[in-house]
Structure 1
């Protein structure tokens, strides 16, 4: 069902494009000719809401991010006016004061590698962060990295905060011990899309960023995070960051050497990696 304003626009469109008379256009749209020709009350000097409209325009100009509900609260509580919120909403809309709140565009990393499936050790490593808290409520940030082929846990970084520089230093140590992967798979977190990590990877390591809001595209490390949450984080109440670091590091070692994967034929990640090296 069309509103009166929509009907007026339709009638004007019919008159302009088809050169119909006002009478014929009104009949087609279903609005009486007298209603169409009558000036809207707000366009006349006898508009009873003229001052209120001006007040709303002034309020919107001073507070451009506020909506009609805050304007209604201002009128009733600060000005002392008795007015229905629905009337404020109608006048707010008629004055064209409604506007969409701008949303921040999600930042996406620049891919330097296509999506690939790991087919050998050191082919694709996936990386992510996981969070927990110590007993005093302060955050614990854990960097996770998995070799998608061998399922080995490759990173032991547990800190209060891990920025791009700290992450790059940790990755440099892993690269020195194990060599570099062909592809790093990650989400679009600020540490991952940073220039610091891009410089570290350079032309030797491909960077594949999953689409925002699709954690299933980073399924290997997400599965590892869920396992660590279930088997470690939920079972411990960390007194401080030192205790958290010791327990989580020990969990990673136990995972690599003793956790048997059904997808690896019930070998541990380290046994499977050694089997691949032996050929």
Structure 2
């Protein structure tokens, strides 16, 4: 409709034909051409805000955009946001990879129930514009979803991994467990001995079973989709600066549906951290009523 009205307006203003002739030629009712929208200024402003947030976060879906709108104080339904984005062709289409589920007969995997109980770390690869590859060591707190490190280097030795972890322990405190795959940097005797000295227990996933490290795999998927695929790095120094900026934005601004649409830092501040977690530590969903009572978020955002 909008495209046809633009065609009519362009031809009429150029003097090529009359409104009735152009409308008849393209199959548009004259009443439709002269019709003026009766939308309220508030409705127009809401649509502009949805489009602005969608433009700033092109890989966000309508549910997360709705949560951002509500955090800014707008009262809006998720279906309305979906309709606006569909009208402007902003729907995010992403093919989900099939993941193998853990068999019910297999032992239950280690599950984080408190901050600093389980950290997960792994590498993700990328390269500069000139083809120079580098590796990014990412460290994630599985309970709060806080990303503690996104450190890029051309190569990593066991000493380099220990150096990064030492800095994180000074800043955040030591984890109780650290989960990783069986990469050579993580199973090196030097790292295992150092972790033992620090009182940190290692938890290695089964060979060929990345689904056992689902939190860090999900994080890497977001990192790749929302940042790495959209950026061009001209040097390792530039990559380090941009990665650190995205890490801070991820912790401070990116809301998570699994955290009741809080950011990782907001969720970490809203829960108490025992020295050693117990099996009775509440889950995220069990904490929601307490967070509502403490005005961390409103019921409309759940």
The bucket for the TM-score relative to the shorter chain is: 0.5 to 0.7
Alignment map for 1:139-218 (pairs within 5 Å): 139-202=133-196, 204-218=199-213
Give the SS at the match of 2:175. Answer: coil
Q: How many residues align?
A: 166
Give the SS at the match of 2:179. Answer: strand
Give the SS at the match of 2:129. Answer: coil
**Cα displacement string for residues 148-176 of structure 1 (whole angstroms, at most 9, x for unaligned residues):** 00000011311111211101000011011
Aligned equivalents of 1:159, 1:267: Cα separation in 2? 31
- Could you tell me whether the CA contact under 8 Å between 2:109 and 2:212 is conserved in 1? no
Aligned to 1:124: 118
Structure 1 unaligned blocks of 5 or more: 1-113
- Could you tell me whether the CA contact under 8 Å between 1:127 and 1:146 is conserved in 2? yes
Give the SS at the match of 1:145. Answer: strand
- Could you tell me whether the CA contact under 8 Å between 2:118 and 2:143 is conserved in 1? yes
- Could you tell me whether the CA contact under 8 Å between 1:115 and 1:208 is conserved in 2? no
TM-score by length of 2: 0.53
Task: Give the CA deviation at 1:277.
Answer: 3.3
**Cα displacement string for residues 119-174 of structure 1 (whole angstroms, at most 9, x for unaligned residues):** 00001001100000101111121001110000000113111112111010000110
Alignment map for 1:1-279 (pairs within 5 Å): 115-202=109-196, 204-277=199-272
**Cα displacement string for residues 86-137 of structure 1 (whole angstroms, at most 9, x for unaligned residues):** xxxxxxxxxxxxxxxxxxxxxxxxxxxx942100000100110000010111
Aligned equivalents of 2:157, 2:221: Cα separation in 1? 23
TM-score by length of 1: 0.58
Aligned equivalents of 1:220, 1:151: Cα separation in 2? 8
Higher CA-based Rg: 1
**Cα displacement string for residues 27-49 of structure 1 (whole angstroms, at most 9, x for unaligned residues):** xxxxxxxxxxxxxxxxxxxxxxx
- Could you tell me whether the CA contact under 8 Å between 1:186 and 1:218 is conserved in 2? yes
Greater than 4 Å deviation, 4+ residue runs:
none
- Could you tell me whether the CA contact under 8 Å between 1:129 and 1:143 is conserved in 2? yes
Aligned equivalents of 1:232, 1:156: Cα separation in 2? 12
